Amino acid sequence: MTAHKPLLLLDVDGPLNPFAAKPHRRPEGYSTHRMKPDTWIAQHVGVPERLVKPLRVWLNPSHGAALQELPFELVWATTWEHDANEWIGWRIGLPREENLPVIEFGSQFVQRSDGTYVKTWRVVEYAAGRPFAWVDDQIGDIDREYVAKHHDGPALLHWIDPARGLTADDFALLADWAAALTPKEDTDGHRP
């Protein structure tokens, strides 16, 4: 067993913000938030900030507690990058004073010639062989193949439906996957 918990790499849009749900039917348990993070404003070059339309973000305030109950070290793996700590974390119930680590994509967030999702190689680099689960709405088979080839530890790439976000079934799957990583003790209390 490793000395560290496995990583849980969290995307925002899709898993935590079910943006693809019907526009006027907020999913049950979610609250609507209007946000203008710096990265959103920066995408509107030449437009005065007061004219930039805020993002509509749906977040479930119970997700933070559910995530903290999982046996993982939580890490943001989102294009929100550090804005996720400022705008998202506390709204889903994560402690406001504790910022999660962030995988930075920056200018390296470009289309890959091998067909993998633009985050995949950076996720593998960040994990550096540690076991990880990654929840995202952009994961595909090509990304799973890339991770299997380039990552030396266990990895779960779990696609989330962006119209539903994380569900109880997803939380159960993540808990089961992490539990399977832990060596079982035999009846004498010794690990095999």
| Number of domains making up the chain | 1
Measuring CA to CA, which residue among 179, 172, 136 is closest to residue 154? Answer: 179
The pTM of this model reads 0.88
Q: Domain span at residue 122?
A: 7-18+61-181
Query: Is residue 187 pLDDT above 70, yes or no?
Result: no
- Does some domain include residue 80? yes
Query: Does residue 53 lie within any of the structural domains?
Result: no
Does some domain include residue 39?
A: no
Dmax over CA atoms of the chain, in Å, equals 68
pLDDT in tens, 142-168: 999 999 999 999 999 999 999 999 999
Q: Could you tell me what percent of the chain has a pLDDT over 70? A: 89
What is the domain-level CATH number for residue 122? 3.40.50
- Asked whether residue 110 is domain-assigned, the answer is yes
Q: Would you say how long the chain is, in residues? A: 192
Where would I find the beta strands (DSSP E) of 41-177? 55-59, 73-76, 132-136, 155-159
Q: What's the pLDDT tens digit per position in 6-26?
A: 999 999 999 999 999 987 888
